[in-house]
Amino acid sequence: MKLIDSHTHVQLKQFNPDRDEVVKRALEKEIWMVNVGTTRKDSQAAVDLCNAYPEGVFATIGQHPDEREVFDYDWYVKTGKHAKVVAIGECGLDYFRVEPHLFNEERERQIELFEQHIALAIELEKPLMVHCRDAFSDVKSVIKKQIADMPAEVPGILHFFTGTKEDAKTFLDFGFSFTFGGLITFNREFDEILRYIPKERILIETDAPFVAPEPYRGKRNEPSYVIEVARALAGVRKAPFEEVCKQTVQNAKSAFGI
């Protein structure tokens, strides 16, 4: 295939009216996708979606740090054995919306939830799909405690990386890969980090239906738009577009074991 959208959410309700068309539109362009679960129900929907297509559609299962349902570890173990479940997450820490007076208990809750995902990734030998917002120091220390037991080749993928060079260095040392999305098509703040991370560790995503790339800004995003992210990455790194497509596909394949 030509490209892989390594982090998207086509199972979400925004796609209820035309989900099959959206998936087919991508597959016809040889764009594969990984639908990322954010709750138990949503993870099941992502798995159902990959069962509906013979190839090119994969899932991850997990509970986003903002979601407050009880984490059903046994269900995730059982569901995570599916061959097309290629990662555990979206999991991690997000302190962006936490109210200051609730910070300590919320931090504790999120860390515990994240640790359960790490245990799951270790048990199933699948990589983590990590979400991190305003929480790099804690994400790094939680992973550091467990990294020795995590899957060796690519233990995790840091989704929509917004950290510093120093953060990137720590995750590179952990063996992590990084995904970048629509933001890099219109925000130049990421150019330096995009040139810093070795090309073998960069994946591309849409995070659809959110954050559509140029020229679709403000509209509903979808996996076939990942081509705009590839174009932007090629521009920033001054690399041929075809080479960026090939390299990011190869990186996604090795990260997800597909």
C-beta separation of 189 from 196 below 8 A:
no
Phi, psi of 208 (to 5 degrees): -60, 145
Residue nearest Zn ion by beta-carbon distance: 207
Check the annotation: does 90 bind a ligand: yes
CB of 36: closest distance to Zn ion in angstroms? 5
Question: Residue 27 or 157: which CB sits closer to Zn ion?
Answer: 157
For strand 85-94 and strand 202-204, is the pairing parallel, antiparallel, or unpaired? Answer: unpaired
Instruction: Provide the minimum distance between the beta carbon of 216 and Zn ion in the complex, in angstroms, as a whole number.
Output: 17
Q: How far is the CB of 241 from Zn ion (least distance, A)?
A: 25
Binding residue per annotation — 138?
no
To Zn ion, the closest distance from the beta carbon of 227 in angstroms equals 19
Query: What does the binding site for Zn ion look like in residue numbers (CB under 5 A)?
Result: 207
Residue by residue, DSSP assigns 48-92 as HHHHTSSSSEEEEE---TT--S---HHHHHHHHTSTTEEEEEEEE
- Name which of 42 and 207 has its Cβ closer to Zn ion: 207
Of 207 and 228, the one with the shorter C-beta distance to Zn ion is 207
64 annotated ligand-binding residue = no
At residue 177, the 3 state secondary structure works out as strand
Handedness of CA 188, 192, 195, 196 (dihedral sign): negative
117 is in an annotated binding site: no
When the beta carbons of 151 and 182 are compared against Zn ion, the nearer one is 182
Annotated ligand binding at 131? The verdict is yes
For the chain, the C-alpha Rg in angstroms (whole number) is 17
Which residues are part of a known binding site? 7, 9, 90, 131, 159, 207
